Amino acid sequence: MTRLRPRTARTAAGLAAAAVLALSGCSATNPIATIADYQPSDGVATTVGDVRVLNMIVVAQAEGQPGTLTGALANGSSQDETVTLTIAGEEVRVPVAASTTVLLGAPDAPPRYETADIEVAAVDAAPGGLTTVTVATASSGSVQLQVPVLNDKLPEYQALLPDTTATSTATPAATRDASQPSGQEGDEEG
């Protein structure tokens, strides 16, 4: 049976201790990102009472051009809410039922989600800039949110640009009702 010499054993133990210290130093000096509240996407978020506003962005070709507000409104309360969104001088009311989420500007959302299309007649900021969106509920007041304006340079935003040949309106059009989920995401309805 072979035994390590005492000096070799001490050296190995010292190297192992140094490795443990070096590798554990990362979390000691840097915050752990997964436990911090942060925006994991291009959009911004806020909370107004029990309504969470998630991943809000505006997609437009240029300042003064029509745009689409996209994101989500999640009502965590047991009461229905009407969320009023004010952008570029236009006011839009979006009903959000209790314990549901309404996806804004989501043309390819799964059928189980309720959606609303919100077009802005003339966006008041250029792509790369910020525009102000005021989010309000009757029960909790209002919050002003600085929302990024993006263009269609990224493929995921191309489908969100409004059809400039049609007359844009500032009223949301609910496209689907989520009160009776149809099944799992990705299910095809016939």
Instruction: List the pLDDT tens digit at each of the 190 positions of the chain.
Output: 666 556 776 777 777 777 776 666 666 667 666 676 666 678 999 999 999 999 999 999 999 999 999 999 999 999 999 999 999 999 999 999 999 999 998 878 888 889 999 999 999 999 999 999 999 999 899 999 999 999 988 888 888 887 754 443 444 444 444 444 444 444 444 3
* pLDDT score at 184: 40
* pLDDT score at 133: 96
Residues in the chain: 190
Both tokens of residue 156? 């995921």
The contacts of residue 188 (CB under 8 Å, 6+ apart) are none
* pLDDT score at 157: 84
* pLDDT score at 6: 63
Measured CA distances, 67 to 45, 115, 172 (Å):
19, 17, 13
Residue 71 · residue 54 · CB < 8 Å: yes
* pLDDT score at 62: 94
End-to-end CA distance of the chain: 73
Amino acid (1-letter code) at residue 142 = S
